[in-house]
Amino acid sequence: MKPRAWIAALLCATMLFACDAFEKNAVQDIAGPVPAGAQIKFFNFGVNAPAVNFYADARKMTAINSATEVESNLGVAYGGVGAGGFYTAIAAGAYTLAGKIAAATDKDLAISNLPATLAEGKRYSFYQSGFYDATAKSVDAFIVEDAFASQIDYAVAYVRFVHAIANANPMTLYAKNTSTGDSVAVGAEVSYKAAGAFTALPPGVYDLRARYAGVSTNAISRTGVSFLAGRVYTIGARGDITVTSTTATNRPILDNTANR
């Protein structure tokens, strides 16, 4: 065989081998439809409750990152939301949702337990709420559906109110636009362990106040809250309504968390 022909044959064989190896070792495309199911957020709004990890039956739904290959003892502390505020996906079905102590003492003891059925394609928020009973090692819990529309109007923001203060009467949330001075009720009056409807608001900066029916003074207030167009927000009331300190951890607070 002439040198040029031999070289050409060798190059051809090499290319065929490389192509065959690529086909055998190439990353396979296993992409497909995203599995259907439900989505859920977890909040630790139980006053004085220890930090917890949240579970659905035996499945751990939230955790704190650890660089030591040993599970963190920190968990989701009071006032916090699990998974960085994002929804966690889960198959639709019936579960017992629980917050379990993250610390070494009483590790994995469930302080809240709530049976719930999660429906296909729906979003939910689970709240530890009320006051932690250190003797019984238990705290209230409830779940609400996050029923905002899948088709979003990008000219407005959507806001709703969730009531997680056990010793507060039903309240209505009001939002005052700091630019226009317009004040509107964000849905109707909301009782403890309940959520109001999502209400469309013009994007802007708002002063918020929660009030009891027939009362002109604020039970809780918060100023300078920004609502962006095309976004969805939950304002959650947490804490002890009797606390008047402006710095106490358990003071009544209006928490702002984005749903999308």
- The tokens describing 248, both together, are 């106490």
pLDDT at 19 over 60: no
Answer whether 148's CB lies under 8 Å from 260's CB.
yes
Tens of pLDDT, residues 227-241? 999 999 999 999 999
Instruction: Tell me the C-alpha distance between 174 and 176, whole Å.
Output: 7
CA 162 – CA 196 distance, rounded (Å): 6
DSSP reduced 3-state for 202: coil
Domain boundary assignment for the chain? 33-146, 152-260
pLDDT in tens, 27-72: 333 333 445 699 999 999 999 999 999 999 999 999 876 666 667 7
Which tens digit of pLDDT belongs to each residue from 118-165? 999 999 999 999 999 999 999 999 999 999 988 889 999 999 999 999
Which token pair is 197?
């409807």
For 163-189, letters b (16+ CB in 10 Å) and e give bbbbebeebbbbbebeeeeeebebbeb
Architecture, CATH, for domain 33-146:
Sandwich (2.60)
Q: How sure is the predictor about 114, in pLDDT bands with cuts at 50, 70 and 90?
A: very high
- Checking if the pLDDT of 202 tops 80, the result is yes
pLDDT, residue 63, reads 81
CA pair distance 24, 7, nearest whole angstrom: 26
Higher pLDDT, 58 or 74: 58
DSSP letter string over 66-130?
-SSSS--S--B-TTEEGGGG--EEE-SEEEEEEEEE-SSTTTT-EEEEEEEEEPTT-EEEEEEEE
Identical fold for domains 33-146 and 152-260, yes or no, is: yes
Q: Give Rg (Cα) of the chain.
A: 26
| Domain 152-260: which CATH number of 2.120.10.30, 2.60.40.1120, 1.10.510.10, 3.20.20.150 | 2.60.40.1120
Angle (nearest 5°) at CA 172 between 243 and 258: 85
- The residue to which tokens 């290319």 are assigned: 15
Mapping DSSP to helix (H, G, I), strand (E, B) and coil, where does residue 172 land?
strand
Strands 194-195 and 183-185: unpaired
